[in-house]
């Protein structure tokens, strides 16, 4: 078979050309491709070409034990792996009819929010780099590394922590961890001014991002958009507040929104969310030392562990949007069916195709990064 599209293809007698962006391209997030029909530098039609990262996750999980699956769930979304483990654990707990101890729930909230901070810091840099600004990328990655150091401290893993199991978390926090966390939050807050000057109010960036990839509230709902992308259209929907899981109903935080629905609004929502996460983490630091108790509800021997028949749907708010696991058990030692409802498949396929239409070629990369899609989660 000859792989097609080595060159730009002229379509018939018209002035339209068909070109490929990706899968190995600096303006594409991850291993993903777009086929664009161009008239001049205006995109007439954009078609996404996914599947480069397909591993058959949902099928693989049917062939592994309940406990073994915990090792592969975080691999579905690489920049933000913590919501994956938590969501899978919540679903299995719901089938089993157990609940994690209250201390484990607070630790899970801490892990989720730290993961959100890391993912957003990573996104700022990627988005800025598509407009030609490379300094935010260096800053964002360096600050994210400080968060990863904390992850390494309390879970043992830099990126993939595999810290949750159904029934709780695996380890107690190390001594002096909350002080370290508090110091990191102080540092991140002190960087707020620098980031604002460098990126969020910098005219070089604002002029490029304003008015690009405008998504209206109705379209966003039609296309199944969730998370920060939906909040940038003016709809304050957040799973953490509207369908609380863990201990989010005891926490005090705002849901930042913007009205414009363009690339700039989306990055501003992420910026505000980062500081809301810091606010939540401060409450966790205050509350966690007062809660004593176990961190895990005992589960049977994991190697011969038959989860009773049933099904559960557990959803959490990841940094990309609403993430959910639908798990079905037939009473065996392996799941009967696992379905992942990832936010990125809605963002990176249909929404991206819709927004790319009519955009200019140089803005396509920016639209993709502003939607903050996660290609491994699209393909699974």
What's the CA gap between 362 and 360, in Å, rounded? Answer: 6
Q: Would you give the binding string for other proteins spanning residues 72-91, x where CB under 8 A is met?
A: x--x--xx------------
User: Cβ of residue 243: shortest distance to other proteins, in angstroms?
Assistant: 29
Q: Which is nearer to other proteins, 160 or 369 (CB)?
A: 160
**Residue 17: CB atoms within 10 Å:** 16
Q: Which is nearer to other proteins, 66 or 223 (CB)?
A: 66
Among residues 236, 268, 276, 237, which one has the least CA distance to residue 112? 276
> For residue 51, which phi and psi values (nearest 5 degrees)?
105, 0
**Residue 10 touching other proteins (CB under 8 A):** yes
Among residues 169, 214, 258, 208, which one has the least CA distance to residue 354? 214
Q: Which is nearer to other proteins, 46 or 81 (CB)?
A: 81
Q: Would you give the binding string for other proteins spanning residues 317-356, x where CB under 8 A is met?
A: ----------------------------------------
Cα distances (angstroms) measured from residue 126 to each of 47, 183, 199, 210, 367 = 22, 26, 12, 17, 11
Name which position in 42, 159, 236, 309 contacts other proteins (CB under 8 A): 159
Q: Is the Cβ–Cβ distance between 356 and 340 less than 8 Å?
A: no
**Residue 156 touching other proteins (CB under 8 A):** no
Q: Is the Cβ–Cβ distance between 74 and 372 less than 8 Å?
A: no
Q: Is the Cβ–Cβ distance between 21 and 8 less than 8 Å?
A: no
Q: Which is nearer to other proteins, 71 or 236 (CB)?
A: 71
Which neighbouring-strand residues pair with 294? none
**Residue 4 touching other proteins (CB under 8 A):** no
Cα distances (angstroms) measured from residue 44 to each of 6, 149, 261, 337 = 20, 45, 21, 40
**Residue 369 touching other proteins (CB under 8 A):** no
Count of residues near other proteins by CB under 8 A: 40
**Residue 9 touching other proteins (CB under 8 A):** yes
**Residue 235 touching other proteins (CB under 8 A):** no
Among residues 74, 79, 159, which one has the least CA distance to residue 123? 79
Show contacts with other proteins in window 19-58 (CB under 8 A): 23-24, 26, 30-31, 51-56
**Residue 276 touching other proteins (CB under 8 A):** no
User: Cβ of residue 361: shortest distance to other proteins, in angstroms?
Assistant: 16
Query: In the numeric block, which tokens belong to residue 218?
Result: 């109705």
Q: Which residues contact 376 (CB under 8 A, 6 or more apart)?
A: 30, 31, 53, 75, 76, 77, 78
Name which position in 40, 132, 142, 156 contacts other proteins (CB under 8 A): 142
Query: In the numeric block, which tokens belong to residue 167?
Result: 């029934």
User: Cβ of residue 98: shortest distance to other proteins, in angstroms?
Assistant: 27
**Residue 2 touching other proteins (CB under 8 A):** yes
Name the residues that contact other proteins, by CB under 8 A: 1-3, 6-7, 9-10, 13, 23-24, 26, 30-31, 51-56, 59-60, 63, 71-72, 75, 78-79, 122, 125, 137-138, 141-142, 144-145, 148, 158-160, 376
């Amino acid at each position: 078979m000859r792989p097609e599209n080595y060159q730009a293809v002229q379509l018939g007698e018209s002035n339209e050309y068909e070109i490929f962006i990706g899968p190995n391209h600096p303006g594409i997030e991850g291993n993903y491709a777009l086929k664009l029909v161009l008239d001049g530098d205006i995109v007439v039609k954009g078609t996404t070409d996914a599947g480069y990262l397909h591993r058959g996750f949902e099928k693989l999980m049917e062939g592994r034990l309940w406990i073994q699956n915990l090792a592969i769930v975080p691999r579905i979304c690489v920049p933000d792996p913590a919501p994956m483990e938590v969501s899978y654990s919540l679903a299995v707990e719901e089938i089993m009819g157990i609940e994690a101890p209250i201390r484990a729930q607070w630790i899970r909230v801490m892990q989720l929010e730290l993961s959100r901070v890391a993912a957003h810091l990573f996104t700022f840099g990627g988005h800025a780099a598509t407009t030609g600004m490379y300094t935010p990328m260096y800053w964002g990655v360096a600050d994210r590394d400080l968060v990863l150091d904390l992850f390494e401290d309390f879970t043992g893993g830099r990126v993939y922590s595999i810290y949750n199991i159904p029934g709780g978390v695996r380890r107690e926090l190390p001594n002096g961890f909350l002080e370290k966390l508090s110091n990191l939050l102080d540092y991140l807050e002190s960087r707020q001014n620098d980031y604002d000057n460098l990126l969020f109010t910098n005219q070089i960036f604002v002029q490029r991002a304003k008015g690009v990839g405008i998504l209206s509230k109705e379209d966003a709902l039609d296309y199944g958009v969730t998370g920060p992308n939906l909040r940038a259209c003016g709809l304050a929907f957040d799973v953490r507040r509207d369908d609380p899981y863990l201990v989010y109903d005891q926490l005090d935080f705002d849901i930042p929104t913007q009205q414009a629905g363009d690339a700039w609004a989306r990055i501003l929502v992420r910026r505000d969310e980062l500081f809301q996460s810091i606010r939540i983490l401060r409450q966790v630091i205050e509350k966690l030392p007062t809660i004593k108790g176990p961190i895990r509800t005992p589960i049977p021997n994991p190697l011969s562990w038959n989860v009773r028949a049933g099904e559960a749907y557990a959803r959490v708010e990841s940094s990309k949007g609403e993430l959910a696991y639908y798990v079905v058990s037939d009473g065996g030692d392996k799941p009967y069916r696992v379905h992942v409802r990832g936010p990125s498949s809605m963002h990176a396929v249909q929404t991206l195709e819709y927004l790319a239409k009519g955009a200019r070629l140089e803005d396509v990369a920016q639209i993709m990064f502003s939607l903050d899609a996660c290609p491994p989660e699209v393909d699974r």
